[in-house]
A and B are shown apart, each in its own frame.
Chain A
Amino acid sequence: MRLNPYKTQKIAFFFLFLATLLIVVPVGLIVVIIIQKGLPAINWQFLSDIPRQGMRAGGIFPAIVGTIYLVLGAIIFALPIGVLAAIYLSEYSKENILTRVIRLAIVNLAGVPSVVYGLFGLALFVVFFKFGASILSGSLTLGIMILPIIITTSREALESVPQSFREVSLSLGASKWQTIRHIVLPNAIPGILTGTILGLGRAAGETAPILFTVAAFYLPLLPKSIFDQAMALPYHLYVISTQVPNVDEKIRYGTALVLLTLVLFMNLVAIIIRYKFRKRKKW
């Protein structure tokens, strides 16, 4: 039997739709399950107390603080380098081998497995520079990891500033750097911000790069300096899910919810900035 083309199309589109549902429905379910089962665990004590009874009770405050420190450290390191690298690619680079190699390097930085970043951080920062397992080592490792995200989004933002603005500024006798500093950069800020926040979200959620560079299994104290170890939310979730027996499911889901909320909140902010910026654009 030969199907007529319209029937074939109907069947094909049905399968395409089915495939899409197979991805999107579980995503929704995951978020709903975590919210539903995690929400009962969330209260002020859970957010502000240290873990107690071998992490089977109490709160996750040190892990939250640790993650915030790590993420801030990573961004302080990665943002200036990332934005300047993006400026290089968007404003200075020519179509040549060097540019091609830089782009390839960025693609590779984005593709290196996260656990390999962990190894690298261990070898370079912990062992070679003797920073030890510390917030400094972890932040630098995470910083290099999120560099490609910041570079790529910043570069897109810079390149979306119309060429004519640059030409006008230069035609008035402004120098190239003045043009970048006063015309290009201010108009690219929302895009750069989006990239930065996406990078923050990524850094907050990663576990493997911090495993050997900073993460403490159990450390009920808050870190005092950047040379201290710290707990971190993703690692804490890993620990109470797999390493500590008999942890109340509520605490696991609660921790997962806090981590997920933190990461999704940052993504949401990034999306909102991007959306508003697109609407407001005047050119």
Chain B
Amino acid sequence: MRKVKEFIVEKLILICGLACIFFVVLIFLFLLKEGLAVFKIVSPLQFLSGKSWYPISEPPQLGILPLILGSLFVTVGAAIISIPIGVACAIYIAEVAPKKIKEILKAGIELLAAIPSVVLGFIGMVTLVPWVKSIFHLPTGLTALSGSIMLAFMAMPTIVSIAEDALYSVPKNYKEGALALGATEWQTIWRVLLPAASSGILAAVMLGIGRVIGETMAVMMITGNAAVIPSSILQPVRTLTATIAAEMGEAVVGGEHYFALFAIGIVLFVISFAINVSADLFLHRSK
């Protein structure tokens, strides 16, 4: 009797372990199920490279190039801001800060990670957006730049915590060896620790960027959402994620617009899958 019960419990545990794989596959399948239909109207190439996104015109124009470029602008901007600052902060926390301050800083970073993105979007709207508008004398502060700054900020917890882990897990004797040879702490960090932790830091950067590409609410609230091909970071843009979030409410289930939004979902899923798998490879290599 006990054996039977345990057999059942153990099978249940196995099923739950497999559930993770099941859910990932399920997500992908349902995105495909609803999204692939759009390719009856446009070819995949047209979809990805079409320059105009007018999903409700007649006939609908379903080219997501402006959206891809919107995501790209915002992401590149965020990466340029967040990578140096995030890695620098990780170095400071891992190697420079005294122990007590270290704990406070880590708590601060965790706090940032916990703030809901809609709250950050709201704060961005009421503070950052007016600043950008007045500093650059723009008609609107809802621009790619505002989005980049906000997203850079949101990518920080990911970059800082993973990069800090990578620095921390460099064997202590590397550092001691360098210091014993008379190198200063900074020389040790720059010449020994950073190269040794490089694949972990690379993973941190990739996961940070993954976070940026997938971010939805804050970006929708502060980038202005104009679905045109952007020519400057001081213009409004519309990202892939914001397009889905903003338009799905109006799309008719089973309509072309609906299919197109799911197809955008496929693109996002594939991007995040690629980023996560390769970041995981880098993380494993560093261990």
Identify the closest chain B residue to A128 (Cβ): B30
State A81–B216 Cα separation when bound (angstroms): 27
Given contacts A177-B9, A205-B117, contact A123 B34 (CB under 8 A): yes
* Interface-lining segment among B11-19, B43-51, B132-140, B229-237: B11-19
Cross-chain contact A260 with B116 (CB below 8 angstroms): yes
* Interface-lining segment among A43-51, A54-62, A88-96, A220-228: A88-96
Cross-chain contact A108 with B17 (CB below 8 angstroms): no
State A5–B123 Cα separation when bound (angstroms): 42
Cross-chain contact B85 with A211 (CB below 8 angstroms): no
Contacts of A64 in B (CB 8 A): none
Q: Does B217 contact A (CB under 8 A)?
A: yes
Contact for A118 among B16, B127, B213, B248, CB less than 8 A: B248
Interface string of A175-187 (1 = CB under 8 A from B): 1111000000000
Number of interface residues, chain B, beta carbon within 8 A: 88
Chain B interface mostly: helix
Closest CB of chain A to B14's CB: distance in Å? 6
Cross-chain contact A263 with B241 (CB below 8 angstroms): no
* Interface-lining segment among B58-66, B72-80, B169-177, B180-188: B180-188
Contact for A207 among B27, B112, B118, B125, CB less than 8 A: B118
Contact for A177 among B6, B185, B265, CB less than 8 A: B6
State A18–B92 Cα separation when bound (angstroms): 10
Interface string of B264-282 (1 = CB under 8 A from A): 0100110011011101100
Cross-chain contact B19 with A85 (CB below 8 angstroms): yes
State A104–B26 Cα separation when bound (angstroms): 15
| Residues 258-278 of A contacting B (Cβ, < 8 Å) | 259-260, 263-264, 267, 271
Q: Does B141 contact A (CB under 8 A)?
A: no
Closest CB of chain B to A143's CB: distance in Å? 10
State A81–B17 Cα separation when bound (angstroms): 8
Number of interface residues, chain A, beta carbon within 8 A: 89
Closest CB of chain B to A104's CB: distance in Å? 6
State A257–B127 Cα separation when bound (angstroms): 16
| Residues 3-58 of B contacting A (Cβ, < 8 Å) | 6, 9-10, 12-21, 23-24, 26-27, 30-31, 33-34
Contact for B221 among A16, A31, A175, A242, CB less than 8 A: A242
Contact for A102 among B6, B17, B127, CB less than 8 A: B17
Given contacts A241-B221, A263-B114, contact A19 B214 (CB under 8 A): no
B interface, CB within 8 angstroms of A: 2, 6, 9-10, 12-21, 23-24, 26-27, 30-31, 33-34, 84-86, 88-89, 91-93, 96-97, 105, 107-112, 114-123, 125-127, 153, 156, 160, 183-187, 189-190, 207, 210, 213-217, 221, 241, 244-245, 248-249, 253, 261-262, 265, 268-269, 272-273, 275-277, 279-280
Name the 7 nearest CB pairs between A and B, nearest first: A113-B214, A205-B116, A88-B17, A19-B88, A84-B16, A9-B186, A16-B92
